[in-house]
Amino acid sequence: MKARFALFVVAVACVAALAFADDGLARVQRQQVLRWGGDVQGGEPYAYQDAHDSRHLIGFEVEIADALARRLGVKAEFVQNDWSTLIPSLERGDFDVAMNGLEVTAARRSRVAFSDPYYAFEETLVVRRDDSAVQGLDDLDDKRVGTLANSMAHEILRARRLEVVLYEGVEEPYIDLEGGRLAAVLLDNVIAERYGLVRPALRKAATAGSGVYAIALRRDEPELLTALNDALRDMRRSGELQAILTRWHLWDERQATATSLPTAASESAPALTATHLILFLRAAAATVFISSLAMLLAVIGGLGLSLLRRYGARSAQLAAQIYIEVFRGTPVLLQLYVLYYGLAPVLTLNAFTAAVLGLGLNYAAYEAELYRAGLDAVPVGQNEAALALGMSRRLALRRIILPQAVRIALPGVANDFIALLKDSSLVSVITVVELTKQMTITAVDLRSWLVPGALCAALYMALSFPLSRLARRLERRLSPVSR
C-alpha cells in the first residue's frame, strides 16, 4: 500500500514538473485560452465595462487581445488585477500575459520579457490654465505633482526636486489639480487627453518624455513571445492595428515607427538601503500620528453620540442612531472617497485632514456602541441613589455614571485603537503615504515584496504589540472580580 502511494506521489510530481516545464505557447493552445491581465480601473480607452452590457469589456486593448488570440487560434480571456501589481501577478502565474498600458522600463525589463510595442506615447504635463508660470518640469521645484504609482512618469518625477503625490486612479489627479491640491500632473498622453485636458480649467504645459506600451510575459516562455510578435507584425501588415488605434482616436505619426523596443541598458535590482529605512520610519510616524488623532476624535465623538442616544431629545436620539448605522453600515474606504473627492467641489480638504476625519468619524460610531454598553452596565440603583442624595441628573452622570461607564469601555477602546492603526492603511487611496503605501513603493523599487513586506509587518507589530499588552492589562485590572 505504501509503495503504491509513493508511486502515486512520484507520478503527480512528474506531471507537475512537466506542466511547469511546458512552454507558454503550448499551454495556451492546449487550454484554448489566452489569459491576459489588466485593470478596468484604468478606464477608457484601455479596457473598461461596456455601459450597455456590464458583462462585456470594450477598449482598444480588448480589441488587440482578441486579434492576437485569433491569430494564435484561441480565445482571449480578461483577468482583473490591480495595475500596480500586474508584474508580480504575472510572475506567479495568475495569467499568461499582462497588457494594460504597461510602459516598457528598464526596471520591468529586468523582471519580465516584452513583446514588440503596440502603442507609442508621450508623457504630458498638465497644469491649471490660470498658472502661466509653469511651462515645464523645471518650473515645479518643491511643488506637488501628481502621477500614478509605479509608472514611467513616477520614475521621471522621482529624479526631480519636487513632491511626488501618488494616485491609484486616472481621474483623481486631475480632480486634485483642478481643486488646487496639486501644481501639476504628469501622465501618458492617452490619459491626459481623456481625463485632464477635457477640463476647461486645465491646459497642457509640456511634453516630458516618451515611451511605448508592450505586452509583458514571463522570461522562460520564448515560444509564446515569438508567437505574439509574429501576430503583432501581421496586425501591422494587414492594417488591423492601425484600424483599432484609429477607431479609438489613438493613431498618430509616432505609431508608424514604433515597431520595436528601444535599446535599454541592463539594470540590476537595488538593495534595501538606509534611505529606504528612513522612509519606512517616516511612514510609520505618519501612521501613528494619523491613527492617534483619529482615535481622539473617535473617542470624543463616540462619547457624545452615546450620551445623545441615551439622554438626548427624541430628535437627537434619532440623529445619533442614524449616524451610527450609516457609518457602521458603509465601508470606511467609501467614506474616505466621498470625504476627499466627493465633497471637493464644496469642501476642499487636504489629504491629511481628510484621513483623520474619515477614520475618526467612522470609528466614532463604534466607540459610541462601546460607551452605550458601558452605560448600560452601570446599575440603575447608583443613579437613583445619587438623585436621592440631592445630586442633579447632570452631576450624577458626570461624577457617578460616566466614570464607571468609561472604566468598563476602556479595554474595548484600546482594542479598537489597534484595529484603527491597521485600518489607517486605507488612507493611501487619498494619496497619504503611510506604512503600507511605503511598503508597496519600496517593493517596486527593490522588485521584491518579501523584504519590504517583512519590514512593514515588523513595524506594525512593534506599534501594535504594546497596545495589545495594554488592552489585556486593562481587561485584567478593570474586569469585575468574582466574590
Q: What is the CATH number of the domain that holds 167?
A: 3.40.190.10
Residue pLDDT, tens place only, 107-125: 888 889 999 999 999 999 9
Number of domains in the chain: 3
Q: Is residue 471 one of the residues assigned to a domain? A: yes
**Of 257, 292, 319, the domain-final residue:** 257
Say yes or no: 376 and 417 in one domain: yes
Least confident window among 167-181, 318-332, 341-355, 440-454: 440-454
Residues 6+ apart with CB under 8 A from 47: 38, 39, 40, 57, 58, 59, 61, 62, 78, 100
Q: Is 51 exposed, middle or buried (0-12, 13-18, 19+ CB in 10 A)?
A: exposed
Q: What pLDDT is recorded for position 64?
A: 97
Say yes or no: 76 and 201 in one domain: no
- pLDDT-derived band at 454, boundaries 50, 70, 90: very high
Higher pLDDT, 409 or 64: 64
Q: Identify the CA nearest to 231 among candidates 66, 62, 23, 30.
A: 66
- pLDDT-derived band at 3, boundaries 50, 70, 90: low
Domain that holds residue 295: 274-478
- pLDDT-derived band at 13, boundaries 50, 70, 90: very low
- Residue holding cell 489629504? 351
Q: What is the DSSP letter of 103?
A: B
Pairing label, strands 184-188, 119-128: antiparallel
Say yes or no: 219 and 366 in one domain: no
Cα torsion through 234, 240, 245, 251, rounded to 10: 80
For CA atoms 43, 44, 48, 50, the dihedral sign is positive
The upper half-sphere exposure of residue 364, i.e. CA atoms within 13 Å in the direction of its Cβ, equals 26
Say yes or no: 278 and 362 in one domain: yes
Q: Is residue 377 one of the residues assigned to a domain? A: yes
- The answer to whether 199 and 174 are in contact (CB under 8 A) is yes
Amino acid at 409: A
pLDDT at 375 over 60: yes
Q: What pLDDT is recorded for position 268?
A: 62
Rounded to an integer, the average pLDDT of 394-412 is: 77
Measured CA to CA in angstroms, residue 370 lies from 127, 169, 314, 373, 375 at distances of 48, 36, 21, 5, 9
Q: Is residue 20 one of the residues assigned to a domain? A: no
- pLDDT-derived band at 269, boundaries 50, 70, 90: low
Rounded to an integer, the average pLDDT of 157-167 is: 91
Q: How far apart are CA 439 and CA 63, in angstroms?
A: 35
Q: How far apart are CA 30 and CA 17, in angstroms?
A: 17
Q: How far apart are CA 79 and CA 28, in angstroms?
A: 15
Say yes or no: 112 and 94 in one domain: yes
pLDDT at 399 over 50: yes
Rounded to an integer, the average pLDDT of 257-286 is: 81
Q: Identify the CA nearest to 339 among candidates 322, 327, 328.
A: 327
Q: Is residue 15 one of the residues assigned to a domain? A: no
Residue pLDDT, tens place only, 173-198: 999 999 899 999 999 999 999 999 99
Say yes or no: 242 and 368 in one domain: no
Say yes or no: 325 and 407 in one domain: yes
Say yes or no: 184 and 286 in one domain: no
Q: What percent of the chain has pLDDT over 70?
A: 92
Q: Which helix (H) or strand (E) holds 443?
A: helix 435-446
pLDDT at 206 over 50: yes
Say yes or no: 417 and 331 in one domain: yes
Q: Is residue 265 one of the residues assigned to a domain? A: no
- pLDDT-derived band at 448, boundaries 50, 70, 90: confident
Q: Is residue 406 one of the residues assigned to a domain? A: yes
Say yes or no: 133 and 75 in one domain: no
Q: Identify the CA nearest to 344 among candidates 130, 178, 164.
A: 178
- pLDDT-derived band at 17, boundaries 50, 70, 90: very low
Mean pLDDT of the chain: 87
CATH code of the domain covering residue 318? 1.10.3720.10
Rounded to an integer, the average pLDDT of 378-404 is: 75
Rounded to an integer, the average pLDDT of 139-161 is: 91
Say yes or no: 301 and 314 in one domain: yes
Rounded to an integer, the average pLDDT of 118-140 is: 94
Q: What pLDDT is recorded for position 413?
A: 85
Q: Is residue 19 one of the residues assigned to a domain? A: no
pLDDT at 20 over 60: no
147-156, 212-221, 306-315, 445-454 — most confident range: 212-221
Q: What pLDDT is recorded for position 408?
A: 78
Q: What pLDDT is recorded for position 241?
A: 96
Q: Which residues of 365-382 are buried (b: 16+ CB within 10 A; e: fewer)?
A: bbbbbbbbebbeebeeee
Q: How far apart are CA 365 and CA 324, in angstroms?
A: 5
Say yes or no: 104 and 150 in one domain: no
Q: Is residue 338 one of the residues assigned to a domain? A: yes
Q: What pLDDT is recorded for position 18?
A: 43
Q: Provide the total of helices (H) and of strands (E) in the chain, helices listed first.
A: 20, 12
Q: What pLDDT is recorded for position 116?
A: 95
- The answer to whether 390 and 363 are in contact (CB under 8 A) is no
A 10 A CB-CB count for 241 gives 22
